[in-house]
Amino acid sequence: MKTIDSIAAELQGYDPQALSAETVNAFLSRLVEPVTEQESVGIFQALGRVLSQNVISPISVPPHDNSAMDGYAFNGAQLSSQALSLKVLGTAMAGKAWSGVAGPGECVKIMTGAIMPAGLDTVVPQEFVSCEGDTVTIPAGLLKVGDNRRELGEDLMQGQPALLKGELLTPAALGLLASLGINSVPVWRKLRVAYFSTGDEILSLGEAPREGAVYDSNRYTVFGLLTRLGCEVIDMGVVRDEPALLEAAFVHGALEADAIITSGGVSVGEADYTKAMMKKLGDVAFWKIAMRPGRPMAVGQIIRAKLASSPYAASASSYFKNSNKALSGSAVLFGLPGNPVAVMVTFLAFVRPALLQMMGSTAQQPPLLKARSSEVIRKKPGRTEYQRGTVSTAADGSLHVKTTGNQGSGVLSSMVQANGLIVLHHAQGNVAVGDEVDVMMFDGSI
C-alpha cells in the first residue's frame, strides 16, 4: 500500500496548498488499485460492467460468405464491357445452403443473408436486372467482382479477441457477444462505494425544517453519479458533527466498501470533527486545489488495520469479512467539499476517473469538445475553472456554448440546465466572444 507521502514525493510540483487539477488526477491514479475478484454474469446483467478477461471469438462472424442483397449470385470473372445474360438455376434462401453447382452462364437467385453457393462471389441486386423467362441480364459497367457479398469473418474471425479486458460493456458490446453465441462473460466484481454527508446544518429529507438548516442534496447527486457509473452504493445518511458518530460512520464505511465519499467539513476554517476523524483513522492529505468551484478536498485511505481497536468495528456488517472478497489494506477516501456544485464538479473531474480505474476499466477519459463561446467569460490564470454551459449547434453547423447563468458553487439549477462543463484550463485567461473553449459533455454521466 502506497502512503500519501510516498505518492506526493513521486509527483513534481506537489503543493497541497495549491494543487493543479492535473496533479490531482496524477495523484489519484497512483493511489487507487483495481478490484481483484472476478465473477461470471449473464448477458442481461453485463451492461455497464467491466470485462475481466479478453473475449476470444469462438466462431467467425459471419460464419460464411453471404449475400448483402436480394438478387442473383454468379461468378464475377464473367463480367466484361458487355451486358451479361445468365440462366437462373434455383434459389438460395437465408438459413439454408443451396447445394447445386452454377457454372459459366448460370446464376442463382439469392436472398439477403443466404450463404453464397460454391464458386459464386458476386451478387447483382434484383432491381438492376431485366428478366426474360429463366434468364436475367445484367447491364454492363454496373458491378465489380465481389460486390454485394459479405465475407466470412469480416466482422470477427474465429480465435481473434472480440472484446478486451478492461472494456466497459455497452449495448453494442452486448450485441457483439450475442452474435458470437456467448451468453455469459467474466467481469470484475462491482465496486462498493459508501457515502455520507456531514454538517450540523444539513437536514435529511423528511426532517422538520429548522432555522439555518438546508436539505441535504449531495447524497442524492452522489447516489445518482455512482449509480450511473455502475457502482454498488451504500447510503450512510447525514452524519452529525460528533466524534462518535463520525468514527462509527468511517469505520462502517471502510469495512463495508472499497471507497468512501463524504461531502462537507473539509474547508480550511472548519471547526468540526470531520477532518480530525479522517486524520485519526486514515492516511489523509488535505488539499487546496487551484480550481473553481471546489477548492478544498481531502484524499487518502482509511487503514483497515487501524480499525480493529475501534468500538464500532464489531457492529459493522463487514461485507468483506462475510464474503469471499479480498479485503485490501485500506478503503479509499474522497472528502469532497460541501457546496453542491463543487461536489459534482470534483466528482466528475477527479473521483469518476479514479473509480473507473478501481472498477478495472481501461477506458480513456472521453475527449473534450471544442465549442465557440457565445459570451465573454472572465477567468483568472492560475486555476482551472469549470463553468456550467449549454452546447448547441448553430445554423452553420458549428458548436456554440453559453453559460447557464448563476455560477455560484451552491447553485444547482444552473447545473440542471447545463449539458456540459466548460473547462477553462489552468493557464488560460479571459475568454472573448467567438473564442474556442473546451467542454466536458455530460453525455449520460450526470
Minimum distance between the CB of residue 260 and ligand AMP, rounded to whole angstroms? 15
Q: Which of 117, 153, 199, 230 contacts ligand AMP by CB under 6 A?
A: 199
CA–CA distance, 53 with 69 (Å, rounded to integer):
37
Q: Which of 406, 249, 408 is nearest to 335 (CA)?
A: 249
Q: Which of 312, 318, 342, 344 is nearest to 331 (CA)?
A: 318
Q: Which residue is nearest to ligand AMP (CB)?
A: 338
Q: Quick check: 267 binds ligand AMP (CB under 6 A)?
A: yes
Minimum distance between the CB of residue 240 and Mg ion, rounded to whole angstroms? 11
Q: Which of 166, 335, 337, 353 contacts ligand AMP by CB under 6 A?
A: 337
Q: Quick check: 214 binds ligand AMP (CB under 6 A)?
A: yes
Q: Which of 197, 262, 330, 407 contacts ligand AMP by CB under 6 A?
A: 197
Q: Quick check: 435 binds ligand AMP (CB under 6 A)?
A: no
Minimum distance between the CB of residue 36 and ligand AMP, rounded to whole angstroms? 32
Comparison of 23 and 217: residue with beta carbon closer to Mg ion? 217
Residues near ligand AMP (CB under 6 A), total: 16
Binding at 214: pick from Mg ion, ligand AMP, none (beta carbon under 5-8 Å per type): ligand AMP
Q: Which of 15, 22, 37, 201 contacts ligand AMP by CB under 6 A?
A: 201
Binding at 216: pick from ligand AMP, Mg ion, none (beta carbon under 5-8 Å per type): ligand AMP
Q: Quick check: 293 binds ligand AMP (CB under 6 A)?
A: no
Q: Quick check: 265 binds ligand AMP (CB under 6 A)?
A: yes
Q: Which of 264, 296, 360, 389 contacts Mg ion by CB under 5 A?
A: 264
Q: Quick check: 330 binds ligand AMP (CB under 6 A)?
A: no
Minimum distance between the CB of residue 192 and Mg ion, rounded to whole angstroms? 26
| Contacts (CB under 5 A) with Mg ion, residues 174-203 | 199
Q: Which residue is nearest to Mg ion (CB)?
A: 199
User: Quick one: which segment of 72-80, 199-207, 325-333, 356-364 binds ligand AMP (CB under 6 A)?
Assistant: 199-207
Comparison of 22 and 200: residue with beta carbon closer to Mg ion? 200
What string of H, E and C letters represents the secondary structure of the chain? CCCHHHHHHHCCCCCCCCECHHHHHHHHHHHCCCCCCEEEEEHHHCCCCEECCCEECCCCECCCCEECCCEEEECHHHCCCCCEEEEEEEEECCCCCCCCCCCCCEEEEECCCCECCCCCCEEEEHHHCEEECCEEEECCCCCCCCCCEECCCCCECCCCEEECCCCECCHHHHHHHHHCCCCEEEEECCCEEEEEEECCCEECCCCCCCCCCEECCHHHHHHHHHHHHCCEEEEEEEECCCHHHHHHHHHHHHHHCCEEEEECCCCCCCCCCHHHHHHHHEEEEEEEECEECCCEEEEEEEEHHHHCCCCCCCCCCCHHHHCCCCCCCEEEEEEECCCHHHHHHHHHHHHHHHHHHHCCCCCCCCCCEEEEECCCECCCCCCEEEEEEEEEECCCCCEEEEECCCCCCCCCHHHHHCCEEEEECCCCCCECCCCEEEEEECCCCC
Minimum distance between the CB of residue 267 and ligand AMP, rounded to whole angstroms? 4
Comparison of 125 and 265: residue with beta carbon closer to Mg ion? 265
Binding at 357: pick from ligand AMP, Mg ion, none (beta carbon under 5-8 Å per type): none
Q: Quick check: 335 binds Mg ion (CB under 5 A)?
A: no
Comparison of 125 and 338: residue with beta carbon closer to ligand AMP? 338
- What distance, in Å, lies between the first and last C-alpha atoms of the chain? 32
Q: What are residue 283's DSSP bridge partners?
A: 301
Residues near Mg ion (CB under 5 A), total: 3
Cα dihedral 203/206/211/212 (nearest 10)? 20
Q: Which of 122, 218, 301, 428 contacts ligand AMP by CB under 6 A?
A: 218
Q: Which of 65, 216, 256, 385 contacts ligand AMP by CB under 6 A?
A: 216
What residues make contact with ligand AMP under the rule CB under 6 A?
197, 199, 201-202, 214, 216-218, 263-265, 267, 337-340
What residues make contact with Mg ion under the rule CB under 5 A?
199, 264-265
